[in-house]
Structure 1
Amino acid sequence: MQATLCKIRTGAPVCLEEAIMANFDTLRYTKIPLIHGSGAIPAVGFGTLIPDRLATGRATKAALEVGFRHLDCAERYRNEDAVGDAVQVVINAGMIRREDIFVTTKLWNTNHRPERVKSAIDASLRRLGLDYIDCYLIHTPFAFQPGDEQDPRDGRGQVIYDNEVTLIETWHALERLVDDGRCKAIGLSDVTLEKVQEVITAARIKPAVVQVESHPYLPEWELLDFCREQGIVLLAFAALGHGMSPNVLNDPVITGIAERISKTPAQVALAWAVQRGTAFLTTSTKHTYIQENFEISALPEDAMREIRESIRLNVRFNDVVKTGVPGFISRAREVPSPGSAADVP
């Protein structure tokens, strides 16, 4: 089954093509149906990997006020409580309801053993101040030595992996979380196509979401096509390429389109992500960038075609899919170019 892109207008779902033709400003409200769980996931998402907790709270509150309705969190980020506090402030102010927000969080590598999974999500629920998670992801398919140390290392500084548990055993533990209502949907993160196929073969409940690095320099077309066939939402982190070199936002194809349609390079890259059928995550601590990243508009078809056909550079900025080791927290930074935004998974 191929997921159908929808937007919400006066309470009724409208296909993306119709929405674009009716009003170019509707793209930001696109929702993508889920094969199980909370109905649909907002395609425009705000990531919360922000090292400073105070900045996390301010940025999360700003994102919700601007219009973001999808928050991406993780046990690993060590700031779920700051996100939860910001959510409660906005809810208590009467601006939104809990059911208006789609909250994703993730099981960290040290909690892959089935007996640790339930306590891990319960701890996330407490920190976030929520009764349920909309989507719970296995952060990476790599199991680390269980314990309180998130980054266990041996005497040589090498990661200590856990060979006593399989990814499929962890997945079955997540399925039981859906059964008991702790989360509405489950999925995978930082995975290869082969790992997704492995889980689907053994799953009772298929992944609803697969979160991977994806941007114009790493479009992941093969994985996206497979996800479409399975009805799985591909959720792109680093949708602006981390602000690393080579910088996606400085690509002449992206900047040329931005100039032609009077948008910023960031808005072009993010609109491209939604129009090709993915959800995306972007992160910033600056209000102007947060607002810019939400206020995307549909690209002309010739621009979509140009991005696909003219950008040949292929770059993966994050090697977490090979090791399970994130290594990106210290890299989190604002993109210095005007009108762009920092982006971290």
Structure 2
Amino acid sequence: MSFPTPLQNTALPLPGGKGELPALGFGTLIPDPVMAKRAIKAALRVGFRHIDAAEAYRNEDVVGEALQEAFAEGTLTRGELFVTTKLWNNNHRPERVGPALDASLRRLRLDQVDSYLIHTPFAFQPGDEQYPKGEDGQPLYDDGVSLLDTWRAMERLVDAGKCRFIGLSDVRLDAVKAIYTAARIKPAVVQVECHPYLPEWELLEFCQQHGIVLLAFAPLGHGMEPRVLNDPVIVDIAQREHRTPAQVALAWAVQRGAAILTTSTSLDHIRENFDVSALSEESLARMRHDISTRVRLNKVVDTGLPGFIPRAQGA
């Protein structure tokens, strides 16, 4: 009798042999601060060791409180935790990049983050407004700065010891290739929407060839239509392998060499999303060849406006 191989301790090597990214990560896009803090602490107790935050989520202070309480309670030490946060679009100008990370560090109550990502490749007009827009209601973009300009400023943060690794988010393959070619410090992580309906095989292959970790957000489809977890192939595999559809989708992601982020305020779902075990080779082949639906749920790669982040009325 064979037993499934647990994937909870899987970690993916980062460039230069200087660290690993836990394959199972917990995202902090939870608008309610009380629920967010409770969920983050629960995720850490369950065993998650990667916490993903962002300036744009407007709750880094809540994340910081949760982390400090978890450290004080002995749930884990800072050295056992990998922390990511992200630079928002209105801070792409090189002179704004360092102060933006300093502000994130103060809110997170940390001296250093493990990974700092450019949240999207789109630069908005610099300033304090998160979503600057013109009279037509469309975003006001900043044509005076390039993605490479911002990347150079990110590299200086690594030099200064404020972050260990840098990377990109919500980006297409062509932009990843361009930054990789020009970069002095190569991207360590590329975070994108990725799930069985948007497998991003070409991007994954490029990342693996160049020592970059592909970090998948919305790996369960974010509960949107068409629902990934209702796919008949995934449902059938779950029944055959005595898993839930969510565990099938997450195992598929990790076994093909990606890291993932899940988010939930339910303790049962947090536990379910961490209790991930390897699928059979037959099931992996079915996931690749028998699922034909292809859909992108978040249009952020086209506009720089994340579809999953709630925006204030009129923003």
TM over 0.5: yes
1:1-345 pair list within 5 angstroms: 24-36=4-16, 38-330=18-310
Q: Report the Cα offset of residue 121 of structure 1.
A: 0.3
Q: Report the Cα offset of residue 26 of structure 1.
A: 2.9
Q: Report the Cα offset of residue 37 of structure 1.
A: 7.7
CA RMSD of aligned residues (A): 1.3
**Alpha-carbon separation, structure 2, partners of 1:23 and 1:156:** 58
**Alpha-carbon separation, structure 1, partners of 2:35 and 2:63:** 10
Q: Report the Cα offset of residue 85 of structure 1.
A: 0.5
**Matched AA of 2:49:** R
Structure 1 segments unaligned to the other structure (5+ residues): 1-21, 332-345
Q: Normalising to structure 2: TM-score of the pair?
A: 0.96
User: Which string of whole-angstrom CA distances, capped at 9 and with x for unpartnered residues, describes residues 68-87 of structure 1?
Assistant: 00011000000011011111
Maintained 8 Å contact 1:38/1:134: no
**Alpha-carbon separation, structure 1, partners of 2:165 and 2:132:** 29
Maintained 8 Å contact 1:104/1:137: yes
Maintained 8 Å contact 1:112/1:143: yes
Maintained 8 Å contact 1:141/1:191: yes
Maintained 8 Å contact 1:36/1:184: no
**Alpha-carbon separation, structure 2, partners of 1:178 and 1:37:** 15
Residue aligned with 1:141, SS: coil
Maintained 8 Å contact 1:90/1:96: yes
**Alpha-carbon separation, structure 2, partners of 1:23 and 1:324:** 44
Count of residue pairs the alignment pairs up: 310
Structure 2 segments unaligned to the other structure (5+ residues): none
Q: Report the Cα offset of residue 133 of structure 1.
A: 0.5
| Distance verdict in 2 for CA 1:38–1:243, change over 3 Å | farther
**Alpha-carbon separation, structure 1, partners of 2:6 and 2:112:** 29
Residue aligned with 1:144, SS: coil
Q: Identity of aligned pairs, percent?
A: 64
Q: Report the Cα offset of residue 52 of structure 1.
A: 1.1
Residue aligned with 1:49, SS: coil
Maintained 8 Å contact 1:217/1:313: yes
| Distance verdict in 2 for CA 1:37–1:150, change over 3 Å | farther
Q: Report the Cα offset of residue 330 of structure 1.
A: 4.0
Residue aligned with 2:15, SS: coil
Q: Which residue is 1:341 aligned to?
A: none
**Alpha-carbon separation, structure 1, partners of 2:264 and 2:35:** 10
**Alpha-carbon separation, structure 2, partners of 1:36 and 1:207:** 11
Q: Report the Cα offset of residue 54 of structure 1.
A: 1.3
**Alpha-carbon separation, structure 2, partners of 1:323 and 1:48:** 22
**Alpha-carbon separation, structure 2, partners of 1:211 and 1:37:** 20
Q: Report the Cα offset of residue 28 of structure 1.
A: 1.2
User: Which string of whole-angstrom CA distances, capped at 9 and with x for unpartnered residues, describes residues 283-306 of structure 1?
Assistant: 001111011000101101100000
Q: Report the Cα offset of residue 127 of structure 1.
A: 0.4
**Alpha-carbon separation, structure 1, partners of 2:18 and 2:267:** 29
**Matched AA of 2:169:** S
Q: Report the Cα offset of residue 38 of structure 1.
A: 4.9
